[in-house]
């Protein structure tokens, strides 16, 4: 389960709460310019979970143009991605990890609270929550897990560093 903790920002900024690069893992992006008349520049920044920036690149898109590629850093990194664009873009992030592939569509809708309607942890399902903090200051995140009857059965309060990210395996 992927989500990011957002601060209100202007412009077309997108946050992808999980990035991985290493043996058996990969993260890719596909972006498309939403304008049929104006080109756009897209800046892609990759951060480690401790908030250290490890990659930055600019991709130029023609009107109606697109770009896709695998984002590779020095390897064995995990973190999150911020994407800034001159204007609105459509996009998809795909992550390959543990013999599974996750697809995450881009959104520039901002929120500070998320309700995840389904999470499961058993011999078939393995839920991990990924959270990113794109803010310049640390934030406190509270994660609560409720059973089917609505009773809270577990909770976790953690601090996510400035420009950092955090993983919570439900097991």
pLDDT computed for residue 4 by the predictor: 46
Those residues whose C-beta lies under 8 Å from the C-beta of residue 123, and which sit 6 or more positions away, are: none
Q: Which residues of 140-159 are buried (b: 16+ CB within 10 A; e: fewer)?
A: ebebebeeeeeeeeeeeeee
With contact defined as beta carbons under 8 Å apart, do 127 and 120 qualify?
A: yes
Per-residue pLDDT of the chain (171 residues; tens, 9 = 90+): 444 444 333 358 998 888 999 888 999 999 998 888 999 999 999 999 999 999 999 999 999 999 999 998 877 889 999 999 988 888 889 998 888 888 777 766 656 777 777 777 788 877 888 888 888 999 999 988 888 788 998 899 999 999 999 988 887
Q: Distance between CA atoms of 19 and 27, rounded to whole angstroms? A: 6
With contact defined as beta carbons under 8 Å apart, do 111 and 7 qualify?
A: no
pLDDT computed for residue 3 by the predictor: 47
pLDDT computed for residue 162 by the predictor: 95
CA angle (166, 139, 130) in 5-degree steps: 20
pLDDT computed for residue 109 by the predictor: 64
């Amino acid at each position: 389960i992927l989500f990011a903790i957002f601060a209100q920002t202007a412009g077309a900024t997108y946050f992808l709460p999980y990035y991985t690069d290493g043996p058996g893992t990969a993260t890719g992006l596909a972006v498309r310019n939403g304008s049929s008349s104006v080109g756009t520049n897209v800046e892609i920044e990759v951060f480690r979970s401790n908030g250290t920036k490890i990659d930055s690149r600019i991709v130029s898109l023609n009107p109606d143009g697109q770009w896709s590629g695998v984002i590779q850093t020095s390897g064995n990194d995990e973190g999150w991605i911020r994407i800034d664009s001159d204007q609105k873009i459509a996009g998809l992030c795909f992550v390959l990890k543990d013999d599974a592939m996750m697809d995450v569509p881009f959104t520039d809708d901002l929120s500070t609270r998320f309700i995840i309607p389904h999470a499961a942890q058993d011999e078939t399902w393995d839920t991990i929550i990924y959270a990113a903090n794109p803010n310049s200051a640390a934030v406190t995140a509270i994660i609560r897990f409720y059973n089917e009857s609505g009773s809270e059965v577990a909770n976790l309060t953690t601090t996510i560093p400035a420009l950092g990210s955090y993983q919570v395996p439900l097991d």
